[in-house]
Amino acid sequence: MVVIVPSNKSVESFEGLHLYHGAISNCSMRVRIALIEKGLDWESHHLDLLKKENITEEYFGINPNGLVPTLIDNGVVHIESNDIIDYLDDVYPEPSLRAENNDEMMEWLHLAAAIHVPACKPYVYATKMAAKIKKTAEEQAKYDALQKNQELKEFHDKHSGDKSFSTSDFDKAKAILGACFAKLEMTLEGRNWIMGDQFTLADISWIPLHFVIDACGYDFGKFPNVQKWAAAFQTKESYQQGVLKWCPDFSQV
Ligand SMILES: N[C@@H](CCC(=O)N[C@@H](CS)C(=O)NCC(=O)O)C(=O)O
């Protein structure tokens, strides 16, 4: 659980569940899917990442990294999407999204979190986002003043101004994704979902990665089990309401 004491005190009086999220953000999709699977009511606070609505003093006062999603549960601020879905399943246990083998399920959540900055983010930014989200000098100065997280500063510096990701950064991202999706392919052999017959937090953690990476042109041809798994998820209501309602086609972003 990653709980934040916000410097923007306005959110501490929120009642019920509130989600700061981005339509096109795969990390936000994860939390929207979990909320919908659980049948929970939540208030939406949408931030348009393309308009850089996350880069404000007000939002950095809620999420110190300036990232989406952020969940506020009765005034308590939670960040980190994989921790948020784990928290939701603990606190709102019905219907359960937790596998009997919790340790194995949590390994999938930890892996998704671990590859976000080294693989998912560079792949998506190098193929699509960097060109759409160029900062003006003024926006860059504002970001530099607000962002204290060195890893994120370094990541965004790689595509600032005229710069773009190096071939080695992109190849490394592709290699990590290839290894992870090969592991997923093997795990899904003879199974409907990652943990077996039950749809769990492991699926919720990985489905959004497939959704955006696929739309950015990654070739899933050699991963038929992954393709079948993604197609099965597309029949669920949480895909309609948690993904498509907000982001009908990531390739068109
Ligand atoms: N580890 C974080 C990563 C969150 C993250 O990187 N969110 C992206 C959208 S998926 C974002 O806010 N990007 C805006 C930026 O990097 O400034 C989580 O899982 O919640």
CATH number of the domain where residue 235 is located: 1.20.1050.10
Together in a domain, 110 and 216: yes
86 lines ligand 1 (CB under 6 A): no
| Residue 12 resides in a domain | yes
Together in a domain, 129 and 63: no
Total domain count, the chain: 2
Query: What pLDDT sits at residue 78?
Result: 98
Question: What is the rounded CA–CA span in Å between residue 65 and residue 34?
Answer: 22
Together in a domain, 106 and 209: yes
Question: What is the rounded CA–CA span in Å between residue 174 and residue 180?
Answer: 10
For 184-219, the pLDDT digits (tens) are: 999 999 999 999 999 999 999 999 999 999 999 999
CA distance readout (Å), 65 to 43, 56, 57, 62, 69: 21, 11, 11, 9, 11
Together in a domain, 112 and 226: yes
What distance lies between CA 228 and its chain's CA centroid?
Answer: 21
Residue 237 alpha carbon to ligand 1 centre in Å: 24
End-of-domain residue from the set 91, 119, 141? 91
Together in a domain, 137 and 188: yes
Query: What pLDDT sits at residue 243?
Result: 98
Residue with the smallest CA separation from ligand 1 atom 15 is: 67
| Residue 163 resides in a domain | yes
For 20-44, the pLDDT digits (tens) are: 999 999 999 999 999 999 999 999 9
Per-chain mean pLDDT for the chain = 97
> Which atom, in ligand 1's list, is nearest to the CA of 30?
19
Spatial CB neighbours of 91, under 8 Å, sequence gap ≥ 6:
73
Query: What pLDDT sits at residue 244?
Result: 98
Residue 191 alpha carbon to ligand 1 centre in Å: 30
Residue with the smallest CA separation from ligand 1 atom 18 is: 80
Together in a domain, 72 and 160: no
> Which atom, in ligand 1's list, is nearest to the CA of 26?
10
| Residue 211 resides in a domain | yes
Together in a domain, 12 and 66: yes
Together in a domain, 169 and 241: yes
Together in a domain, 39 and 72: yes
| Residue 77 resides in a domain | yes
> Which atom, in ligand 1's list, is nearest to the CA of 67?
12
Half-sphere exposure of 58 (CA within 13 A, CB side): 8
Together in a domain, 154 and 196: yes
Residue with the smallest CA separation from ligand 1 atom 2 is: 80
Question: What is the rounded CA–CA span in Å between residue 9 and residue 61?
Answer: 8
| Residue 47 resides in a domain | yes
pLDDT tops 90 at residue 162: no
Pair of tokens at residue 136: 């003006």
The beta strand positions in the chain, using DSSP E, are 2-4, 17-21, 43-46, 70-73, 76-79
247 lines ligand 1 (CB under 6 A): no
Residue 189 alpha carbon to ligand 1 centre in Å: 31
Where in the sequence is the domain holding 45, given as residue range(s)?
2-91
Residue 92 alpha carbon to ligand 1 centre in Å: 24
| Residue 80 resides in a domain | yes
49 lines ligand 1 (CB under 6 A): yes
Residue with the smallest CA separation from ligand 1 atom 12 is: 67
Together in a domain, 109 and 87: no
> Which atom, in ligand 1's list, is nearest to the CA of 84?
20
Residue with the smallest CA separation from ligand 1 atom 14 is: 67
- Mean pLDDT (whole number) for 33-60: 98
Query: What pLDDT sits at residue 247?
Result: 98
Query: What pLDDT sits at residue 153?
Result: 96
Question: What is the rounded CA–CA span in Å between residue 121 and residue 172?
Answer: 12
Closest listed residue to residue 236, CA positions, set 196, 192, 191? 192
| Residue 97 resides in a domain | no
* Residue 225: pLDDT band with limits 50, 70, 90: very high
Domain CATH code at residue 67: 3.40.30.10
Together in a domain, 112 and 232: yes
* Residue 1: pLDDT band with limits 50, 70, 90: confident
Mode of pairing for the β-strands spanning 17-21 and 43-46: parallel
Question: What is the rounded CA–CA span in Å between residue 33 and residue 201?
Answer: 10
For 135-152, the pLDDT digits (tens) are: 999 999 999 999 999 999
End-of-domain residue from the set 70, 91, 112? 91
| Residue 26 resides in a domain | yes
End-of-domain residue from the set 69, 91, 113? 91
Residue 77 in 3-state DSSP?
A: strand
67 lines ligand 1 (CB under 6 A): yes
Spatial CB neighbours of 245, under 8 Å, sequence gap ≥ 6:
none
Strand partners, 19: 44, 71
